[in-house]
């Protein structure tokens, strides 16, 4: 029987971001502010579209983005979409995240890339969609729901092989689409 785990058991540290007032954004200066709208398909983050927030929002430790963070959109239409999960591979300046994103560091049992692949599967998306809470007419994933998501967890050697196979399959698909 495979090792079945909950996502909560694989989170070493995690939190939601912050929600600055709509009229508090800056043209320049401050701190870079990542929203779910900047999360894209295939783990792409559009850093150039990020807004700037006043520096005082960077005092919220929970909202500070870290290299290796896995990001999950937890509010609204982006939940369980093709743009709902990202992994922060590179971070070139201090950044805070929006409150509609949950960020977390994985434990040593799992790689961030494997979590990215698993959270992008239909199996996990269906779990998310089935558990959403309606909050002020907007769908929402609570920490309790995220913690309870289940999936098989192979050892790290197999995780790396599966990640490589998934990336190769996506690349082959993109090539076929380009040819078509």
Q: Taking the C-alpha atoms of 172, 173, 176 and 177 in order, what is their torsion angle to the nearest 10 degrees?
A: -150
Hey, how many other C-beta atoms are within 10 angstroms of the C-beta on 12? 11
Cα separation, 80 vs 5, in Å, equals 19
The rounded Cα 35 to chain-centroid distance in angstroms is 11
Give the per-residue pLDDT at 1. Answer: 46
Using DSSP's 3-state secondary structure scheme, residue 179 falls into helix
Its CATH class, for the domain covering 4-153, is alpha beta
Give the per-residue pLDDT at 162. Answer: 94
Give the per-residue pLDDT at 138. Answer: 85
pTM value?
Answer: 0.91
Beta strands of 31-132 (E only): which ranges?
31-34, 51-53, 70-73, 85-87, 95-97, 101-106
Asked whether the beta carbons of 142 and 133 are under 8 A apart, the reply is yes
* Per-domain residue ranges of the chain: 4-153
Cα separation, 58 vs 75, in Å, equals 21
Helix (H) or strand (E) holding 123: helix 122-131
Asked whether the beta carbons of 147 and 7 are under 8 A apart, the reply is yes
Give the per-residue pLDDT at 2. Answer: 62
Mean pLDDT for each consecutive 10-residue tract of the chain (180 residues)? Answer: 87 94 89 95 90 92 96 91 92 95 96 94 93 84 95 93 90 84
Give the per-residue pLDDT at 4. Answer: 93
């Amino acid at each position: 029987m495979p090792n079945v785990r909950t996502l909560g058991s694989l989170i070493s540290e995690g939190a939601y971001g912050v929600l600055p007032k709509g009229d508090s954004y800056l043209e320049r200066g401050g701190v870079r502010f990542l929203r779910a709208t900047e999360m894209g398909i295939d783990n792409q983050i559009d850093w150039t579209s990020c807004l700037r927030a006043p520096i005082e929002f960077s005092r919220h430790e929970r909202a500070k983005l870290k290299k290796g963070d896995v990001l999950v959109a937890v509010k609204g239409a982006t939940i369980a979409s093709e743009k709902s999960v990202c992994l922060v591979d590179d971070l070139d300046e201090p950044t805070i995240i929006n409150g509609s994103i949950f960020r977390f560091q994985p434990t040593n049992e799992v790689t961030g890339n494997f979590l990215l692949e698993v959270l992008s599967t239909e199996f996990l998306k269906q779990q998310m969609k089935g558990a959403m809470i309606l909050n002020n007419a907007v769908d929402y994933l609570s920490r309790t729901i995220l913690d309870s998501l289940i999936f098989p967890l192979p050892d790290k050697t197999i995780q790396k092989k599966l990640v490589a196979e998934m990336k190769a399959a996506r690349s082959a698909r993109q090539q076929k689409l380009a040819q078509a």
